[in-house]
Amino acid sequence: MIDKIKHIIKTNPWLGFFLFIQVAILVWGGVVFGLFSPIEPAFDPDLINEYQLQIVPGWEGSRFLQWLLGSWFRWDNTWFMRIAMEGYQPVDGRLTFAPVYPFLVGFLGRILGGQYLLAGLLVSSISMLGACFLLYEEFQRLTDNDTAERGLRYLLHFPTAFFLFGGYTESLFLLLLLLTWRAARKEAWFQAGVWGALVVLTRFLGGVIGLPLAYLWWRTQRKHKVKAALSLSLIPLAFVGWNLLAKWQYGRFVWEEIDNVWKLHTYWSFAGMWNNLKEILAYKMLSAHLYADLFMAVLFIALTVIVFRKLPVEYGLLMVGLLAISVLKVTNYGLLESVSRYVLPIFPGFLVLADWGKNRWFHWVWTVLTLALLLLLSSIFFTWGWVA
């Protein structure tokens, strides 16, 4: 057993950095929570306190729990915790959030005696660990070991990487995406269909994985095409099935909930990028998310072009699908919404960045810059500031 663990550590040199980043983010969250007063949250403070007591038994009597967990009950995480405890309810915004992550959190939270927030962090961290194993294996297929490890490190200290360890869906989505991807590459179509269905039920925008999967299906041997198509049909069926259930049980389809409650809609991506730029220039706004979303949109559009040139076509199609959904979704003010978080699972882009990292100057500038932004954006998030 010890020899097997040693072998895993030896063949996965990124493990130490993974543990370092996770512990560092947890400690940083505790420090920020303890030292800085929160910005006025967007939700009713009394309601937040009430839920906090429910999802963290012993909250008021334990300084350790407050230090460990207090900084993570923020924004979308509050909705995941409510769904985990209470399930879905009609027309209050919950239908916007896909069911797999809150179901897992609810299941584990009950096992942990009602520690739902801790359960959310565990689900995210375990998912991220699994995703890292798969991602390192995927990168090794495409490049040398040093570049593969560097690509993984760049993801782990990306400016919004704290979402991968907190109570959000990003890490679970990435894990399921990679499982789907690996199964499709091996032409294990039924597995790809099952994993892909779970991708969609983790984040509804995951349906865009159908674009590269359709290309892989088209390339496959003719005798397997019908079987493959039937298996991959599980992906749209999962989305349609959930929407029909939501309409039957709660009276709304998911897209109706998004429009009526959250006031988000799709628009040409360049309009959203232009509006972000106008807000920055006209008002000299210090809202970090305006800068982050604009920069990440431009960066990953450029990376998509390079991926089409350097990697097989399916990787470029995957980037197009995931990035298009991210940059086309704008608020009622015409601004980009959460692009800096949505790019986290677009793993081919990180491989291109890792290839650039062969240049010593780029590597150190990128590392220092992203680590500094990680500390800045996470501290804003921990104090109830909007990041993504």
Is residue 387, in this structure, part of any structural domain at all?
no
Residue 192 lies in a domain: yes
The pLDDT value recorded for residue 197 is 96
pTM confidence score: 0.93
Residues contacting residue 12 through CB under 8 Å, at least 6 positions apart: 132, 133, 136
In a domain, 318, yes or no: yes
Query: What whole-number distance in Å separates Cα of residue 199 and Cα of residue 207?
Result: 8
Q: What is the pLDDT of residue 62?
A: 78
Give percent above pLDDT 90 in the chain: 52
| Domains of the chain: total | 1
Greater model confidence, 12 or 274? 12
Residue 388 covered by a domain:
no
pLDDT (mean) for 248-263 = 73
* 254 within some domain: yes
Q: Is 299 within a domain?
A: yes
Q: How many other β-carbons are positioned within 10 Å of the β-carbon of residue 93?
A: 14
Fill in the DSSP letter of residue 266.
E
Compute the chain's Rg from CA coordinates. 21
Where is average pLDDT lowest: 158-172, 227-241, 327-341?
327-341
**Cross-strand pairs, 336:** 330
Q: Classify residue 80: in a domain, yes or no.
A: yes
Rounded CA separation 184/103 (Å): 26
pLDDT, tens digit, 9 for 90 and up, residues 282-324:
665 557 777 888 888 889 999 999 999 999 999 999 999 998 8
In a domain, 19, yes or no: yes
CA proximity to 336, closest of 303, 374, 301, 384: 301
Say what the pLDDT of residue 159 is. Answer: 96
Band of pLDDT at residue 173, cut at 50, 70 and 90: very high
Q: Which domain holds residue 270?
A: 2-382
**322 CB-side CA count, 13 A:** 31
296-313: buried (b, 16+ CB within 10 Å) or exposed (e) per residue? bbeebbebbebbbeebbe
Residues 331-356: tens digit of each pLDDT: 655 667 788 999 999 999 999 999 99
- What are the start-end ranges of the E strands in the chain? 265-266, 329-330
Please check whether residue 323 is in contact with residue 343, taking contact to mean a CB–CB distance below 8 angstroms: yes
> How far, CA to CA in Å, does 259 sit from each of 217, 266, 339?
33, 10, 19
| Per-chain mean pLDDT for the chain | 86
- Token pair recorded at residue 85: 């405890």
